[in-house]
Chains A and B, each alone.
Chain A
């Protein structure tokens, strides 16, 4: 069935946003300016309506939804396991983190065990993903301030991480490597060597980025004292992740409510008290180093053993069993045609994504498809802080502030 869709652009009328802009805009004293959805520094398809007094931002009204993909509705129409491919495409810089949250929600719902080896590999891969996400952030953030070389350096290292993902799963970005009850399969033999090589190489590379930016007077002028976020405002607006930590509140779900074996690893939560763009930069750079520490520890004590749960009601049997066991064949058939049916109930699982708390609310009605999936995405919540921190700054600083919130539009719009 093809639906004829009339494609027309419906602009926002002034009446609709009258309550958001100041009296001066209606009298024509300030200028209303549209920024986006196609703008090089909005990091995707974000639209901002700006009210400007000269160069100064009086008001900033974000207009999101240009990437609303209907993922939540689409997941309700698929079985639990098949819906996992949708999760990668939510926050496309943190694919494995999304997989992790979704798989943990199913595991909690179904009370499914995860073998220790799978948990350790999950930690290694999500931490590598965190580094790669921060690298994209750092590259584009610096690019917004016209520091082109940082972008090139960051993507050079990101490729090494993507090569590791590709080695494990065959895909660079949309891996769907984590499955309910463990991993899709074990990592290849040369995985450890590749990660070790990266661990050896990366600290020097972080120092290199820091040499380019941390004491760079131009960078300091653009970031110090820009977009100060007070801790009480941050809490009021539900800001999480590096933004909250840069405002002086050391809240990290990996420490507060350890999941997937994070309690076994020794790492710090970088916290700064300034709450400005520079502090947020420092937090994220330091987080890359801490993530690397976690990866190294997890790799050092990587246990041997299976990587998927043995619960045949949820996890398909291995290929070798199907040929010899009738029961395994039945399970395999049932799981791939009908899917598994977790008990009725609802769970919430939150994990620490590179941007903040990524949560999955999963409700089951006892059937093979999720009844309701809601993604509590960090960018959506953090995005609301942008009008507050942008107020009173110049338009040129607004570009930097969009970068510092570290939004991913796929994450905002879902």
Chain B
């Protein structure tokens, strides 16, 4: 691991009590939700992580504590480093603080997370659905949401499905 990154990780372990996760040379800090804004602020202003690369989530359903992991990835152009942050969230309708005040492009990422995962962000300026229709029910990327498979029409079951299939008329 890079020395600079090592020092940052150490500082964060002391300051926020963060644990670390390392796999294939990528390092992630595991933080508590209440620390994420301060951590991002510090990373941007003190450690030159200028770019928020991505913000996403993983659903560990049926596990409940934690059910979700928020995944942040920050890039430093100055030091040419990349750092991941993970925030575990409990329960079926979790809430996390929004980091839009630190990184402006978190806006759409968080809207997407609200839309597809149902994670609520406190302090977000414009938390609406972004990808799904406005009146959609449910959050599709959750693991308990079905894929929505529709039976495929082949020649052997053509008639059977044809009866049920709604075709548009003039």
Contact = CB atoms under 8 A, between A and B. Distances in A.
Check A-B contact in the complex, CB < 8 A. Answer: yes
Contacts of A269: none
B16 interface: no
Contact of B23 (A346, A376, A414): A346
A373 to B, nearest CB: 10
A4 interface: yes
Interface residues of B, number: 44
B165 to A, nearest CB: 6
Question: Which applies to chain B's interface (DSSP): helix, strand, loop or mixed?
Answer: loop
B91 interface: no
Contacts, number: 110
**What is the interface residue range for chain A against chain B?**
35 or more
A357 B104 contact: no
A73 B23 contact: no
B108 interface: yes
Interface string A338-371: 0000000111101000000101010100000001
B32 interface: no
Interface stretch (A118-126, A230-238, A321-329): A230-238
B154 interface: no
A235 B50 contact: yes
A77 B146 CA distance: 10
A348 B104 contact: no
A122 to B, nearest CB: 20
Contact of B126 (A20, A256, A376): A20
Interface of B: 23-24, 26, 50-54, 56, 58-59, 71, 73, 77, 80, 82, 84, 103-105, 107-108, 125-126, 128-135, 140-141, 145, 147-151, 161, 164-166
| 4 A-B pairs closest in CB distance | A238-B105, A65-B131, A376-B54, A345-B23
24 contacts: A1-B150, A1-B151, A2-B151, A3-B148, A3-B150, A10-B134, A20-B126, A64-B131, A70-B140, A72-B141, A73-B147, A235-B51, A236-B104, A236-B105, A238-B51, A249-B77, A346-B71, A348-B84, A359-B54, A361-B56, A376-B53, A376-B54, A384-B108, A414-B131
